[in-house]
Amino acid sequence: MARLILLNKPHGVLSQFTDEGSGHPTLADYVNVPGVYPAGRLDRDSEGLLILTDDGKLQARIADPKFKKPKTYLAQVEGVPDDAALAALAKGVTLKDGPTQPARVRRIEPPDLWPRVPPVRYRKSVPDSWIELTITEGRNRQVRRMTAYVGHPTLRLVRWRIGDWTLDGIAPGLWRDA
């Protein structure tokens, strides 16, 4: 039976088990389970759900965009996206590496999340807001690039859901078996 671990990856942690001299914390600092590997990645500046498994085929089904596994992110963005910005994200935007697939997107109230360490830089003169964005791809820094494209750079990014798996009840740095 395949092992499936749901980890709430903290901000600043690399999505790999070795740091290759970078000095950044890695998955090895949080998960002491031999033989599991991440199914996909989250960049160092992002936090949230990372799935680890010892099953290579399952790992591919979760991570490979051809399987179109939906991934839902909660993004704190600079400014307040208007309907046109949300419509552009929903339709798909053209980034340097090509057009994105359509996304599901909506404005949301600030979610009840743990404090980020370090905190997001606060600017009195620039408001921020939250959106929920669901994509089926997973390009490098895709959500950040999409929100920047529509004029609302991402300040904080939390992956909340992959398919039917969620972060619900998992504190930062902790994990549970799925």
Q: Residue 62 is encoded by which pair of tokens?
A: 């979760």
Cα–Cα distance for residue pair 107/74, rounded to 1 Å: 10
Q: Are residues 93 and 41 in the same domain?
A: no
Q: What is the pLDDT of residues 166-176, one digit of tens each?
A: 999 999 999 99
Q: What is the pLDDT of residues 40-90, one digit of tens each?
A: 999 999 999 999 999 999 998 888 878 889 999 999 999 999 999 999 999
**Residues involved in catalysis:** 43
Cα–Cα distance for residue pair 63/70, rounded to 1 Å: 10
Q: Which range of residues forms the domain containing residue 141? A: 70-162
Strand ranges (E), 1-62: 4-9, 37-38, 47-53
User: Do residues 14 and 27 make contact, with C-beta atoms less than 8 angstroms apart?
Assistant: yes
Domain count of the chain?
A: 2
Q: What is the pLDDT of residues 118-156, one digit of tens each?
A: 888 877 888 999 999 999 998 899 999 999 999 999 999
Q: Are residues 114 and 137 in the same domain?
A: yes
